[in-house]
Amino acid sequence: MSIAAATIGKILWVLGVVGWYVIRYPFERRARRVRVVSGRRTAADSLGLIAALVGMAVLPGIYVATGFPRQADYPPSGWIVALGAIAFAAALAVFRISHKQLGRNWSITLEIREKHMLVASGPYALVRHPMYTSFLLMALGQALLLPNWFAGPVGLVGFAVLFFLRVDKEERMMLSNFGPEYRTYMERTKRLIPYIY
Ligand code: SAH
């Protein structure tokens, strides 16, 4: 039973990551055709992206493929795996809705695009960074789906590095581009978690 829960958790994690890429790919393609007016791709931001990739894909991928580091395994629980599946499914839903809402304004890094519009509707009416909310849900899902004290929580570390290296700069960039419009938008929204943070 518990062996099955571990296997199911790993399979769901793989399916979740594949789903993540299926959602993202069309936006990546489209983004290539929208001109960038100003970019703030810094070394710190690239480091954040690498941290997220390592914590949320490379290390858990190695764990799923090889079992490394086996000494950090703990006995899996069906309930925790089920919670992880719910978190991951919610992550993918929020991820897709935010991409659709952001549309041609989306960038993998900090950039202002031609005819950039401030999006403040849909999930953006509740939080300023719903896409990062979806990363947080995904990292939580990973922590619950993989019964390993290293490969599970390391996604949360990768997320935190990306988020905290980026969020102030992103908001400053939006402020310098949209001025008072973004200022009032900030006053009525939270960053990641509706009504809380
Ligand atoms: N932080 C947002 C967007 C991530 S994509 C989220 O988590 O949902 C990053 C790009 O989105 C940035 O380069 C910025 O140009 C753009 N962006 C961020 N917030 C935006 C908003 N409210 N409206 C339009 N573009 C936004």
Pocket test for ligand 1, best of 102, 112, 197 (most atoms within 8 A of CB): 102
Pocket test for ligand 1, best of 27, 101, 138, 170 (most atoms within 8 A of CB): 170
Mean pLDDT of all residues in 121-141: 98
When mean pLDDT is compared across 29-33, 69-73, 138-142, 153-157, the lowest value belongs to: 29-33
Choose among 10, 16, 15: nearest CA to 81: 10
The H or E element containing residue 40 is none
Instruction: For 7, list phi and psi in degrees, rounded to 5.
Output: -65, -45
pLDDT above 90 (res 39):
no
User: Could you tell me the distance, in angstroms and rounded to a whole number, from the CA of residue 76 to the centre of ligand 1?
Assistant: 37
> Terminus-to-terminus CA distance in the chain, angstroms?
38
pTM of the predicted model as reported, rounded to 2 decimal places? 0.96
Helical ranges in 117-153 per DSSP H: 130-145
Pocket of ligand 1 (CB under 6 A): 98, 102, 105-107, 110-112, 118-119, 124, 129-132, 170, 174
Helices and strands in the chain: count of H runs, count of E runs: 7, 2
Predicted local confidence at residue 5, as pLDDT: 94
User: Could you tell me the distance, in angstroms and rounded to a whole number, from the CA of residue 19 to the centre of ligand 1?
Assistant: 21
Residues of the chain above pLDDT 90, percent: 95
DSSP 148: B
Choose among 50, 51, 37, 178: nearest CA to 110: 37
For residue 111, the ligand 1 atom closest to its alpha carbon is 13
Predicted local confidence at residue 2, as pLDDT: 62
Mean pLDDT of all residues in 14-33: 95
Residue with token string 């190695």: 62
Mean pLDDT of all residues in 53-59: 98
| Confidence class for position 27, pLDDT limits 50, 70, 90 | very high
pLDDT above 50 (res 1):
no
User: Could you tell me the distance, in angstroms and rounded to a whole number, from the CA of residue 106 to the centre of ligand 1?
Assistant: 6
Q: If you compute the radius of gyration of the chain from its CA atoms, what whole number of angstroms results?
A: 18
196 burial class (0-12, 13-18, 19+ CB within 10 angstroms)?
A: exposed
pLDDT above 70 (res 20):
yes
Predicted local confidence at residue 170, as pLDDT: 96
User: Could you tell me the distance, in angstroms and rounded to a whole number, from the CA of residue 20 to the centre of ligand 1?
Assistant: 18
Pocket test for ligand 1, best of 174, 183, 186 (most atoms within 8 A of CB): 174
The number of angstroms, rounded, from the C-alpha of 79 to the middle of its chain's C-alpha atoms is: 24
pLDDT above 90 (res 19):
yes
For 28-167, strand residue ranges (E) read 36-39, 111-113
| Confidence class for position 3, pLDDT limits 50, 70, 90 | confident
pLDDT by residue (tens digit) across 168-189?
999 999 999 999 999 999 999 9
Q: Give whole-number Cα distances, 160 to 12, 86, 136, 166, 189, in Å.
A: 23, 21, 8, 10, 20
**CATH code, 2-188:** 1.20.120.1630
Residue 109: which region, alpha, beta or left (left: phi > 0; alpha: psi -120 to 50)?
Answer: beta
For residue 127, the ligand 1 atom closest to its alpha carbon is 8
* CA dihedral over 29, 30, 31, 34, signed as positive or negative: positive
Residues of the chain above pLDDT 70, percent: 99
